[in-house]
Amino acid sequence: MRPRVVVLVTLSEVGGAQTYVARLAATLSSTYEVVVAAQGQGPLAEAVRASGGRFVELRHMRRAPSPWRDPLAFWEIVRLLRRERPQIVHANSSKAGILGRLAGAVVGVPSRVFTAHGWAFHAHSGLAAKLYLAVERLVAPLTTLTICVAASELESGVAAGVCLPSRTVVCANAVPVPPLGRRPAHDPPRVLTVGRLKPPKDFSTLLRAVALLRPGACRLLVAGAGPDRSRLAVEAEALGIAGDVEFLGERDDIAALLDGCDVFVLSSRSEAMPMSVLEAMAAGVPVVASAVGGVPEAVGEAGLLVPAAEPAALAAALARVAGDAALRDRLGRAGRARVQHHFPLDVWRRTHLELYAREAGRSGRSLAPPGGAEACIPQPESLLAADRGPGRRSGGGS
């Protein structure tokens, strides 16, 4: 009988954490009996079922904190875990991450795994940030393994006291590399951005940057839905760039949008290791992004990085890339090569299977191998070098 695992994420929607969960379910399906639970019946539910897993809809789970819904969601997860009796519960995203680990401890699930797709106390401010920080510190001792998607997330998590060094590893996000077809240049260049239209995504800074460019310098395509949609449309009108901006709504054809654009831009104020940036790089699209979180780890020298929340700096980078076809080609090829070399999906899958095998066989021993926490961090470079065997080294660092 295969060991059972319950994977939790807050919402079944389009997003980086949901992409991670869908790929995780497909990776685990041949070895484990996989149950994925989230609120809603979105694309994630379809992907889980297609991979052979079971999907359970959580009726009370919501993204926003709620003094009455959150306890209901907690007991809903407790009942789910009691019914399924998994060996591992793997929680993803802030709300499901907190409630899932608490419920796992109450039920007595042996392994309670959490993937930090970005710490909530970084994405929020004021009282909300303090609340998330306090609760993360509370559930940290209940977590048998924390997976960080970027080295910067591990560093900030340990510094904040929300993850234990001996129980934390880095496994960077990874994406498939599609075949590279011909991408015709557009006049004006098409600039694509993808994300939920709400903080910590900072679309206002992007709109103000576009307004600083000469009229008609680019065509901005905004793919995503969210509560700020109407406000951003009004802002684009007020800035006089409504004719240069197209709000596409939520899309499930991002690969096709990438094939039809010239530049990808991400203007967030907080990120971990965004799938959207890796997908753009894998497609050979040059990237301009805020230098926050794990974005510099992802992009390296294969794109242009700017300070967050600075429209002038973002405008200068966009003008440089939009106005130089040779630079776009060079950055696009460099980004694709970087994903192939440092963020391969087969290494990501193998790493998660190895981590799961260790968790499934837990006997109360420390998760850290000899040498302490640093030896436990499977960095993409070291994994690639090990995979190539003795005497064959990969060049460059990640």
Using CA atoms, how far residue 139 sits from 75, 132, 229, in Å, is: 16, 11, 34
Answer yes or no: do 338 and 194 share one domain. Answer: yes
Confidence of residue 181 (pLDDT cuts 50, 70, 90): confident
**What is the CATH classification number for the domain harbouring 19?**
3.40.50.2000
pLDDT of residue 212: 98
H or E element that contains 376: none
| Structure-derived torsion over alpha carbons of residues 370, 372, 374, 376, reported in degrees to the nearest 10 | 60
Answer yes or no: do 261 and 306 share one domain. Answer: yes
Write out pLDDT tens, residues 37-73.
Answer: 999 988 899 999 999 999 999 999 998 888 889 999 9
Of 363 and 255, the one with more pLDDT: 255
Write out pLDDT tens, residues 243-258.
Answer: 999 999 999 899 999 9
Q: Could you give phi then psi for residue 198, rounded to 5 degrees?
A: -170, 160
Of 280, 333, 306, 355, the closest CA to residue 16 belongs to: 280
| Number of structural domains in the chain | 2
Answer yes or no: do 134 and 120 share one domain. Answer: yes
Answer yes or no: do 150 and 116 share one domain. Answer: yes
Write out pLDDT tens, residues 273-296.
Answer: 999 999 999 999 999 999 999 999
Tokens describing residue 316: 């200068």
Write out pLDDT tens, residues 309-359.
Answer: 999 999 999 999 999 999 999 999 999 999 999 999 999 999 999 999 999
Residue 395 lies in a domain: no
Answer yes or no: do 170 and 96 share one domain. Answer: yes
H or E element that contains 348: helix 345-360
Using CA atoms, how far residue 177 sits from 9, 25, 154, 248, in Å, is: 25, 20, 26, 24
Residue 397 lies in a domain: no
For residue 300, what are the domain limits?
A: 190-342
* Sequence letter at residue 138: L
Answer yes or no: do 295 and 364 share one domain. Answer: no
Confidence of residue 398 (pLDDT cuts 50, 70, 90): very low
Answer yes or no: do 82 and 215 share one domain. Answer: no
Q: Could you give phi then psi for residue 113, rounded to 5 degrees?
A: -105, 145
Look at the block and give the residue holding tokens 């510094």.
159
Answer yes or no: do 291 and 240 share one domain. Answer: yes
